[in-house]
């Protein structure tokens, strides 16, 4: 049942190899448009995989799970991603940006989002969100000749690292208290065990996790870096930033607060 994700990873590898070969043959600004047109069939075939597994129940494999809810979100992401690619087709040609790596970075960031939807483990979630954010840092500084774009990428990187450290610190405290990072096991321990004097430390760990997520979400009062990043990033990248990562973070934020730490 993990065939859509296996297909997605192999498709990224094929697109990377095809892009390298085409970059040696096509020495013009149209290379990015050609690579985007190669990426569009990857998304369409991925949708066919989802339709073939539309009646699946919950299937767990270690820290990953696949259910109908995951496939619904995956379909919504792919539709939005397809719309983004159609919007990007002529952007690089008009802006005179010779970059064929942008669609590949988008594919990798989308795979990180898929992993965030699949995981039931806090550490796996941290690794998935870092895969996504590493792609975002590059996308924010896409215009290499623009000081504003370089500033946006640098600020995004610095605040992203700071929020990741807060998130990882909270996760480490949770593991030290509960001995597990599985969300289902955390729900059982938190709701049916008495921690006594460790209740305050549990709230502190949850506070750091929530602050790290709110930083990445750009929510008040952790939103002061958003304006500079959105202003300095290219327009098509800003469109992607404002919608795509917010949906995944909202889903996981609700899963942590209303399921595992419902107290």
pLDDT digits (tens, 9 = 90+) for 5-35: 777 778 778 877 877 777 776 666 667 777 7
Same domain, 109 and 151: no
Question: Partners of 121 in the beta sheet?
Answer: 182
Same domain, 5 and 106: yes
Same domain, 78 and 114: yes
Same domain, 25 and 103: yes
Distant-in-sequence, close-in-space partners of 216: CB < 8 Å, separation ≥ 6: 129, 133, 160, 163, 167, 245, 249
Q: Is residue 126 part of a domain?
A: no
Same domain, 72 and 176: no
Distance between CA atoms of 212 and 203, rounded to whole angstroms? 14
pTM for the whole thing? 0.82
Same domain, 194 and 113: no
User: Could you write out the DSSP letters of every residue in 82-130?
Assistant: HHHHHHHTTHHHHHT---SSHHHHHHHHHHHHHHHHHB-BHHHHHHHHH
Same domain, 53 and 149: no
Task: Quote the tokens at residue 235.
Answer: 């327009």
Same domain, 4 and 86: yes
Helices vs. strands in the chain: H and E counts, helices first: 11, 2
Same domain, 150 and 112: no
Distance between CA atoms of 70 and 126, rounded to whole angstroms? 18
pLDDT score of 57: 47
Task: Quote the tokens at residue 14.
Answer: 């094929």
R_g over Cα of the chain: 20
Q: Is residue 184 part of a domain?
A: yes
Q: Is residue 33 part of a domain?
A: yes
Q: How many domains does the chain have?
A: 2
For CA atoms 235, 222, 134, 251, give the dihedral sign: negative
Same domain, 182 and 258: yes
Distance between CA atoms of 227 and 185, rounded to whole angstroms? 39
- Mean pLDDT estimate for the chain: 79
Contact indicator for 63, 118 with CB cutoff of 8 Å: no
Which among 76, 103, 118 is the end of a domain?
118
**Confidence check: pLDDT of 150 > 50:** yes
Contact indicator for 36, 90 with CB cutoff of 8 Å: no
Contact indicator for 207, 170 with CB cutoff of 8 Å: yes
Same domain, 114 and 152: no
In tens, the pLDDT along 40-84 reads: 888 888 777 766 655 444 455 566 777 777 777 788 888 888 888
In tens, the pLDDT along 175-220 reads: 888 888 888 888 888 777 766 666 788 888 888 988 888 888 888 8
Q: Is residue 75 part of a domain?
A: yes
State which residues form the domain around 85. Answer: 1-118
Same domain, 105 and 157: no
Distant-in-sequence, close-in-space partners of 89: CB < 8 Å, separation ≥ 6: 33, 36, 37
């Amino acid at each position: 049942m993990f065939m859509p994700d296996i297909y997605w990873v192999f498709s990224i590898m094929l697109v990377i190899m095809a892009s390298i070969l085409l970059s040696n043959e096509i020495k013009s600004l149209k290379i990015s448009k050609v690579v985007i047109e190669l990426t569009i069939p990857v998304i369409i075939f991925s949708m066919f995989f989802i339709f073939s597994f539309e009646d699946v129940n919950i299937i767990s494999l270690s820290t990953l799970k696949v259910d109908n809810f995951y496939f619904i979100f995956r379909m919504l992401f792919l539709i939005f991603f397809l719309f983004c690619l159609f919007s990007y087709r002529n952007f690089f040609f008009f802006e005179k940006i010779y970059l064929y790596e942008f669609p590949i970075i988008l594919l990798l960031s989308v795979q990180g989002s898929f992993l965030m939807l699949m995981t039931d483990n806090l550490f796996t979630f941290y690794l998935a969100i870092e895969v996504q954010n590493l792609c975002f840092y590059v996308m924010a500084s896409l215009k290499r000749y623009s000081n504003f774009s370089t500033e946006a990428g640098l600020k995004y990187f610095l605040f992203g690292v700071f929020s990741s450290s807060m998130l990882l610190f909270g996760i480490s405290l949770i593991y030290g208290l509960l001995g597990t990072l599985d969300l289902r096991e955390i729900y059982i321990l938190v709701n049916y065990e008495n921690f006594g004097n460790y209740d305050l430390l549990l709230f502190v760990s949850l506070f750091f996790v929530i602050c790290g997520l709110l930083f990445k979400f750009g929510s008040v009062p952790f939103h002061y870096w958003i304006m500079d990043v959105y202003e300095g990033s290219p327009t098509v990248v800003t469109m992607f930033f404002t919608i795509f990562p917010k949906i995944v973070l909202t889903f996981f934020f609700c899963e942590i607060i209303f399921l595992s730490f419902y107290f």
